[in-house]
Chains A and B, each alone.
Chain A
Amino acid sequence: MSVDWAEVYRATFLELVRFLHRKVWDEERARDLAQETFARALGQEPDNPRAWLFRVASNLAHDEARLVVRRKRHLTLLRTEAEQAEADAPTPAAEMEAQERTERLRLALERLSERDREVLLLWDAGMSYPEIALETGLSAGAVGTTLARARRRLVEAHLALEEKHAARG
């Protein structure tokens, strides 16, 4: 049976964006990569479309991270973001708070091992244990253990960052 990509797109796009956002930390870029992922999917007939999408997205994000040279596009994005921010700006304080929250999450995730982080993000993106096992090569039984460890480390790392922030602030 052929894959109904339009349906998968509607059901999965935002999850994919969120998943990618935790990897590239730029919503526009995450959206771009999510679209890129789906563009690559068209014409493909994977057995598990969701798993296929997340695998491709993960690879794209990984490639993205390897880029050393900053892109001009990013500068464009920043400019666009600035313009957008003027248009529908939340209060400066709220915006700053959101940015700090995002930054702390980014730093906390960085303190996880790559595997722990991947399992955590795949789970959060809505993938099941068997799907995560398939993607990461873990046994299904090990997914729970890995996820438990990843959650604990994330919470602990985040707590430490908050304390550091409070002490400084």
Chain B
Amino acid sequence: MQHVDEGLLHAWLDGERAALGPARAEEVRRHLDGCAECRTRLGEARDLRDRADALLRGGSPVGAEIPPFESLAGRVPARRSRTRMLAWAASLVLALGAGWLARGAPDPGEPSARAAAAPRPAPSPAVPSAPAVSAPAGTAVVVPAPAPAVDAATARRAGPRPLPQVAARGDAPPPAAADLAAMEATPVPPPPPPPAAAPPPVAESRAPAPAEAPAAAPPGAAEGDRSGQAARRAERVAARAPSAAGADSAELPAPNYGGTLALEGLVVSGTPTLEEVLGGAVGPDADGWFSVRPEAARRLLGREPLRVRGLPLISVQAGRWEGRAAVRVRQRLEGGGLLSLVQVPDGAKEGGESGDSAVVPDAWDEAPTDHVRLIRQVGAIVVTGSAPLTADSLAALLERLR
């Protein structure tokens, strides 16, 4: 045979004769026996290998301690300790806070309401009355609430003037539907011109149930009270985080629909089954969810899908979660993070325990690998988040959703 090439020499040295195959190994052995030159080269190769090994060992000393195997049991793989972007975290807290605050704001009722209020300055007495549910201002709370909510941008722009909800009650979508109306428009059309004069606030103009909570207080009635502070804070939040605050307005990215739905345009009484909802949808995506129109999700849940106000919406999806029909609302966190709210119809049996779960209702692989991924159960809703910050920080944020 020809001289043994360097790769073969190293394989020979490394004891990888099995990798060569018996015939080849025997060939090499015979050649080395009879070839002084190759034996010399073999010696050189050995020196090279030993020097490289010594460098690798010597330059990379690691302690010999092996932590007990049992210590792995308490380790949740997804919880990787990462600390970054505290400012980002702060902005998320603010955005979540704005979402909460916005829950107490008047419902826009119709798009023109925003425009009507927009030219007005939005001074402190933008006073949506505080919702009946008590929570500290700035705390994000995602719970099934009968009241519709408005985004932070709307709260900011609303100003002291209550919104013309009388107009919305008749032929416009009900307030609960108005929330997701922006999502359904692709692209989002510009709001119509403002009406010449918005109706004055009168008690009768309040929206009917389920829009009872966001009742508007008379202008200036609560100057300086907590709601007033809340509104000011929402305003600051909106100013600091325009991308989040504009989520429901014209900046809303086009929703991600998978296809048309069999239910679309039909009048359906009662709660449809998942199969009915999915009848015409295209999907599923990588983790088994079908993109659906908000209206279908609403019918499936029998209520408004929950979302965090002020965070851009990515998609509304339907699918199965722990054997039940469920809706998943996905929203974009700043810094490329992802928040998912997996929700089942009210009254469906709750599953799982609070806290971390081994079951992942989300396509974790989609998240950048430097993101922390967490899952929390908040009541009947499974909240997952992935974000470029520490597990602890994300956990704290998700905790606030409680």
A residues in contact (CB < 8 Å) with B: 5-6, 9-10, 13-14, 17-18, 21-22, 27, 30-32, 35-36, 38-40, 42, 59, 63, 66-67, 69, 71-73, 98, 101-102, 104-106, 108, 120-121, 123-124, 128-130, 140-148, 150-152, 154-155, 158
Give chain B residues whose Cβ lies under 8 Å from the Cβ of A123: 14
Complex interface bits, B1-41 against A, C-beta within 8 A gives 1, otherwise 0: 00001111111001010010000000000000000000000
Tell whether, in the assembled complex, residue B16 and residue A129 are in contact, meaning their CB atoms are under 8 Å apart: yes
B residues in contact (CB < 8 Å) with A: 5-11, 14, 16, 19, 45, 48-49, 51-53, 55-56, 58-64, 66-67, 69, 71-72, 75-77, 80-85, 369-370, 390
B interface secondary structure, majority: loop
Give chain B residues whose Cβ lies under 8 Å from the Cβ of A98: 61
Tell whether, in the assembled complex, residue B75 and residue A21 are in contact, meaning their CB atoms are under 8 Å apart: no
- Given contacts A129-B14, A129-B16, list 18 more A-B pairs with CB under 8 A: A9-B72, A18-B62, A22-B60, A30-B62, A31-B62, A35-B67, A36-B77, A69-B84, A72-B390, A73-B82, A105-B58, A105-B59, A108-B55, A128-B16, A144-B10, A144-B19, A155-B55, A158-B55
Tell whether, in the assembled complex, residue A151 and residue B62 are in contact, meaning their CB atoms are under 8 Å apart: no
Docked pose: A72 CA to B64 CA in angstroms: 26
Q: List 9 A-B contacts (CB under 8 A).
A: A27-B62, A105-B60, A120-B52, A120-B56, A129-B14, A129-B16, A147-B10, A152-B48, A155-B52
Docked pose: A128 CA to B17 CA in angstroms: 11
Docked pose: A73 CA to B6 CA in angstroms: 44
A19 CB → nearest B CB, Å: 9
Tell whether, in the assembled complex, residue B11 and residue A101 are in contact, meaning their CB atoms are under 8 Å apart: no
Which one of B11, B56, B71, B81 contacts A143 once the chains associate, using CB atoms below 8 Å? Answer: B11
The 3 lowest CB-CB distance pairs between A and B, nearest first, are A105-B59, A145-B7, A144-B7
Which one of B8, B45, B64, B75 contacts A39 once the chains associate, using CB atoms below 8 Å? Answer: B75
Docked pose: A14 CA to B58 CA in angstroms: 15
Give chain A residues whose Cβ lies under 8 Å from the Cβ of B8: 144
Docked pose: A142 CA to B8 CA in angstroms: 9
Given contacts A39-B72, A128-B16, A155-B55, contact A66 B62 (CB under 8 A): no
B326 CB → nearest A CB, Å: 24
Given contacts A98-B61, A144-B8, A151-B10, contact A6 B75 (CB under 8 A): no
Tell whether, in the assembled complex, residue B72 and residue A144 are in contact, meaning their CB atoms are under 8 Å apart: no
Residue of B nearest to A130 (CB): B19
Tell whether, in the assembled complex, residue A21 and residue B62 are in contact, meaning their CB atoms are under 8 Å apart: yes
Tell whether, in the assembled complex, residue A9 and residue B69 are in contact, meaning their CB atoms are under 8 Å apart: yes
Tell whether, in the assembled complex, residue B60 and residue A155 are in contact, meaning their CB atoms are under 8 Å apart: no
Residue of A nearest to B51 (CB): A155
Docked pose: A67 CA to B62 CA in angstroms: 23
Given contacts A22-B56, A27-B62, A148-B9, contact A67 B81 (CB under 8 A): no
Given contacts A6-B69, A129-B11, contact A124 B75 (CB under 8 A): no
Give chain A residues whose Cβ lies under 8 Å from the Cβ of B56: 22, 105, 120-121, 124, 154
Tell whether, in the assembled complex, residue B69 and residue A10 are in contact, meaning their CB atoms are under 8 Å apart: yes
Give chain B residues whose Cβ lies under 8 Å from the Cβ of A10: 66, 69
A61 CB → nearest B CB, Å: 11
Tell whether, in the assembled complex, residue A144 and residue B14 are in contact, meaning their CB atoms are under 8 Å apart: yes
Give chain B residues whose Cβ lies under 8 Å from the Cβ of A31: 62, 67
